Structure 1
Amino acid sequence: MTPIALAVACLLAVTLYYAALCVGSPFGTCRKCNGFGFATTTDRKGRPKRGKNCRRCKGRGKRVRVGRWIYNRGSRIYRAGTH
């Protein structure tokens, strides 16, 4: 196998894996709050305490994956154009 064909095969495998991941699990953990839904802060004694809700995930701890967001947007545009 040539190196270009190997690179194309690897890229295709990664793409198919990510597509399957978006179908099977459309929500991933929020990268900003690590899935907690809030920022952790410390009090005066250095003990961890709950902070404000995460603005990115609105306190849920989960976000829509990029691939799923693209699929949802495309299907919404398709539906709007065919009706």
Structure 2
Amino acid sequence: MRGMAEGLKLASEFAAGIIVGGGIGFLIDRTAGIAPFGLIVFLMFGFAAGIRNVLRHVSPKPPTAAPQATADAERAEKPRNS
């Protein structure tokens, strides 16, 4: 079930990006009278934003760097081989 929930989340984020982009493009077309160019451009922006959200979610996360104080404490605890 967890995989299905994650898939639905990704699909809804992708669709939301396209819908928001289309909505913004539609409003720009109505106010500026440049139909259909605003809709086309912002649908592409929405598509790109949706892909970016999905890729950001599925890409591996880099390990977080340990704080300097913790790294110094670990070095102090290790015996030296001299």
TM-score (norm 1): 0.33
Larger strand percent: 1
